[in-house]
Chain A
Amino acid sequence: MKLFPIRGGIHPEYRKDLTSEQAIVVMPMPAALYIPLQQHIGAPAEILVAEGDLVKKGQMIARNQGAVSASQHAPTSGRIKSVAEVAAPHPSGLPQKTIILEPDGKDEWADLPAPIADPFAASPHEIHERVAQSGIVGMGGAAFPSAVKLNLGTQKKLETLLLNGAECEPYLTCDDRVMREYADEVIDGARIMAHALGTPRVVIGIEENKPQAIEIMTRAAAAFPNVEIAAVPVQYPMGSERHLVQAITGRETPARKLTADLGVVVHNVATARAVHHAVRFGRPLVARVVTVSGSAIRKPSNVMTPIGTLVADLVEFCGGFSARPESVVNGGPMMGQPLPSLDVPVVKGTSGILALTAEEINGSPTSACIRCGSCVTVCPCGLSPVDMAAFIRKDNLDVAAKLGVMDCFSCGSCSYVCPSHIPLVHYFNYAKGVLRELENDRRKNERIKTLAEVRTIRIEKATEAKRAALAARKPASDAAPSGNAGEAKATTEEKANA
């Protein structure tokens, strides 16, 4: 298959050998599971259970609110201990509403929806419903509700389902192992999704540093002529949706558009496997493979973890820390978020927990920008980080916006190469946050102005109506002017003039 080059990018130290040869191990059920109501992009789920309820594995404990939302299911059977505000796996450490479940040790499945006997005869709508019911979200990390993406076939003409098996971040090997150990399930899930989307072609993109995965997946796909495996070059960020699409099709997704507008829909390989389970067995998403790695972890492993396991329990299962980590990161080292503490849960989008030492992070105090231009050379989005960061540093966010900072997806390539160790991505995250906030404020101010104007008009109309009514009644009530009416008239007139 002809592949196309992508611009920029870096070749970091991958260090995947820490876990790439570790088969997936299943973690025993911890003492408590913390299931947040929002583990996805969109509206939080609506809670269906209360304290003290007994639930079975796979039972829906919170329902999606609207289309862009996802349901939550009990990862095991047990008792709902409470519903509380628990710290989210987010750098802010802010709390979010979380269901706390105490496992009963029996791990009994609830009555699951019936398997769809022949998914390829089922309507796309049925499959979409089943995926929505099963709480499946994008497991590459973005956690976008997959059912919404599966519905795109009704809105646009789609050509290709592209499965993202690139896994371009250093350290992470969860997708690699899933492809090696469950290739048939991934391919089946992919074919089901392709049927739901109406795409005649399925391409699975895998980076060349995973030769075993490529081989095993190629063999598994051999029986299906419409499924192709594409071995893409090892280049960070090949796993970025838009860049993977460019590598496979040669086309750039226009800004502010979806890849679906080019006829391609991208899903993660683990998501495909989850769809296979949901459709073939009626099982919702209740566990996922997490790569626990970094040189500060005693036993780096790929762990099949129940959703809601505390990171502390997961790290303990992997032997705990062998050294003091400088940072514990949720995700890969490039785009992962630092965790404020270990007492936060693993959620559906957690692909990795990394305990990194200062040596691995290789940070240094920041010095002045020397305009070397390395950041411009590596930016996969064709932006100019040197200029944007300079303007942001001087609080000139408008110019930074004009230079395209809102197009930045924080891949981290620029920060990786900067010789002065300038925290470029941090500047852009800050700028994007403030610009979004200012945009919200602007919209709010406009709405409020409308409210104020509407009110002024309403009061003027009321005053007019009163004046007209009084004028009409005047001849009749000449003798007794009502004191109240006069007072009311005075205050409304006052207000109208303000």
Chain B
Amino acid sequence: MSGMLIAIVSLTLIGLALGSILGVAARKFAVKEDPLEEELKAMMPGSQCGQCGYVGCAQYAGALAKGEAAITLCAPGGKVLIEALSEKLGIEADLSGMEDKGPEHAYIIEDICIGCTRCIRECSTDAIMGANKLMHTIIVDACHGCSKCVKVCPTDAIVMVQYPVTLANWHWSKPEIENTEPKPEIVPAH
């Protein structure tokens, strides 16, 4: 009987001692959490286009930090952003729902453009060149496909188009081997 008592008491004491050490360590050496939302916001493109369904990039970041939003919602951010968010938040990116569209940029159909400058004022990255009553054109290098301009054009002269594959941006696609599970692959067009 006394043997059992000794065993119970000693193990209990050991457990209490180790538990307190862990508790103190958890408090004393705790890593201060950086405000996640601020960091996520910094990663966003910042064009406030609203394609994710939230009012602006800050709101999307907030929802992500709370774990309320999927990480695949940002179209202008593209695959790069999804992967960065995946790494930051430790969430697996479910790319199966994404359309295989690939990145796009805006294109102004010159025959229809009336030179009203509404798109120029709307564009959040100053990617449209033009002036009142003069032809407008998209600076493709500065356009990240948020498509806000498409919505404000009164004559529907703007469309979203994919980046063409040229010798400069072509690359080999992933080798297809039999007996591997087919993965929905986002093959960027540009």
Binding site for B on A (CB under 8 A): 38, 88, 90-92, 94, 96, 365-366, 392-393, 395, 398, 422-423, 426-427, 429-430, 432-434, 436-438, 441-442, 444-445, 447-449, 451-456, 491, 495, 498
Contact = CB atoms under 8 A, between A and B. Distances in A.
A1 B172 CA distance: 42
Contacts of B56: 498
9 contacts: A88-B167, A90-B170, A94-B165, A94-B167, A429-B172, A430-B171, A437-B190, A445-B144, A454-B126
B169 interface: yes
Given A429-B171, A430-B174, A437-B171, A448 B45 contact: yes
Contacts of A423: 175, 177
Given A441-B78, A449-B45, A426 B172 contact: yes
Most chain B C-beta atoms within 10 Å of own C-beta, residue among A38, A393, A427, A498: A498
Contacts of A427: 174-175
A433 B172 contact: yes
Contact of A445 (B80, B121, B174): B80
Contacts of B96: none
A448 B172 contact: no
A498 B48 contact: yes
B125 interface: yes
A455 B188 CA distance: 28
B166 interface: yes
Given A441-B79, A451-B125, A366 B173 contact: no
Interface string B83-106: 100010000000000000001000
B111 interface: no
B160 to A, nearest CB: 16
Interface size class of B (residues with CB under 8 A): 35 or more
Given A437-B188, A441-B78, A455 B45 contact: no
Contacts of B141: 444, 447
B142 interface: yes
Given A94-B167, A441-B79, A442-B80, A448 B144 contact: yes
Contacts of B144: 444-445, 448
Contact of B166 (A94, A392, A447): A94
Contact of A365 (B142, B172, B178, B190): B178
Nearest to A495: B121
Nearest to B81: A445
Interface of B: 45-48, 56, 77-81, 83, 87, 103, 121, 124-127, 141-142, 144, 165-167, 169-175, 177-178, 180, 183, 188, 190
Nearest to B42: A449
Contacts of B46: 449, 452-453, 456
Contact of B125 (A395, A441, A448, A495): A448
B126 A451 contact: yes
Given A437-B171, A449-B46, A451-B126, 14 more contacts: A90-B170, A94-B165, A94-B170, A436-B171, A437-B169, A438-B79, A438-B80, A444-B141, A447-B141, A449-B45, A451-B127, A452-B46, A455-B125, A498-B56
B102 to A, nearest CB: 11
Contacts of A392: 174
Given A393-B180, A426-B175, A441 B45 contact: no
Task: Report the 9 A-B pairs with minimum CB-CB distance, sorted nearest first.
Answer: A433-B171, A451-B125, A429-B172, A452-B46, A426-B175, A92-B170, A498-B48, A441-B80, A423-B175
A90 B167 CA distance: 8
A451 B170 contact: no
Contacts of B45: 445, 448-449, 452
Contacts of A448: 45, 47, 125, 142, 144
A279 B166 CA distance: 36
Contacts of B81: 445
Contacts of B83: 398, 438
Contact of B77 (A91, A433, A445): A445
A210 B78 CA distance: 53
B126 A430 contact: no
Contacts of A393: 177, 180
A495 B180 CA distance: 50
B39 to A, nearest CB: 14
Given A88-B167, A92-B167, A430 B78 contact: no
A488 B83 CA distance: 40
Given A437-B188, A445-B144, A452-B124, A430 B173 contact: yes
A227 to B, nearest CB: 39
B181 to A, nearest CB: 10
Contacts of A94: 165-167, 170
**Which residue among B79, B125, B169, B178 has the maximum number of chain A CB atoms within 10 Å of its CB?**
B125
A448 B121 CA distance: 16
A434 B47 contact: no
Nearest to B84: A442
Contacts of B124: 452, 455, 498
B38 to A, nearest CB: 15
